[in-house]
């Protein structure tokens, strides 16, 4: 019997996985940008967030998009390292196999504020989780 990815994922992954999928669909349909859950695709996401900031997009208007981008970055980390989503008090975190916790949704907000990078978060999160 085979088990699908969705069947074995913890329930904490349900919302972020959906937010990430929504962000992928929105970028494909609205901006004609393809996101493939690779670390390289986070360059495009960082640039898009930077563009939103430079255009003066109000935070309230970007909030849902930022949540989706953060969840997307989290999914990239999960898929590359075997990490898991954890949820506490409405916040969603990624726990990498080495026990470290990451907050990609907050990192997307920091990126919008001009002080963060989803690409660098992914680099840091995946660096310590490589097989030794």
DSSP strand E in 1-132: where? 84-88, 91-95, 101-102
pTM greater than 0.85: yes
Count the Cβ atoms, other than its own, within 10 Å of residue 123.
13
Q: What is the pLDDT of residues 34-43, one digit of tens each?
A: 999 999 999 9
Q: Are 129 and 81 in contact (CB under 8 A)?
A: yes
pLDDT (tens digit per residue) in 63-107: 999 999 999 999 999 999 999 999 988 889 999 999 999 999 999
Residue 101 CA to residue 45 CA, distance in Å, equals: 21
Q: Is 3's pLDDT higher than 60?
A: no
Q: What are phi and psi of 104, to 5 degrees?
A: -70, -30
3-state secondary structure of 122: helix
Q: Within its chain, how far is the Cα of 36 from the centroid?
A: 12
């Amino acid at each position: 019997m085979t088990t699908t990815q969705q069947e074995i994922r913890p329930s904490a992954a349900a919302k972020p996985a959906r937010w990430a999928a929504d962000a992928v669909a929105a970028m494909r349909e609205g901006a004609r940008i393809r996101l493939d859950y690779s670390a390289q695709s986070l360059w495009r996401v960082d640039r898009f967030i930077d563009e939103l900031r430079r255009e003066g997009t109000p935070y309230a208007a970007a909030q849902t998009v930022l949540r989706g981008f953060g969840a997307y970055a989290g999914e990239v980390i999960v898929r590359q390292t075997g990490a898991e989503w954890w949820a506490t008090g409405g916040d969603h975190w990624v726990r990498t196999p080495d026990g470290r916790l990451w907050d990609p949704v907050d990192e997307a907000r920091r990126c919008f504020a001009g002080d963060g990078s989803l690409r660098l978060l992914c680099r840091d999160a995946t660096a310590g989780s490589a097989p030794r």
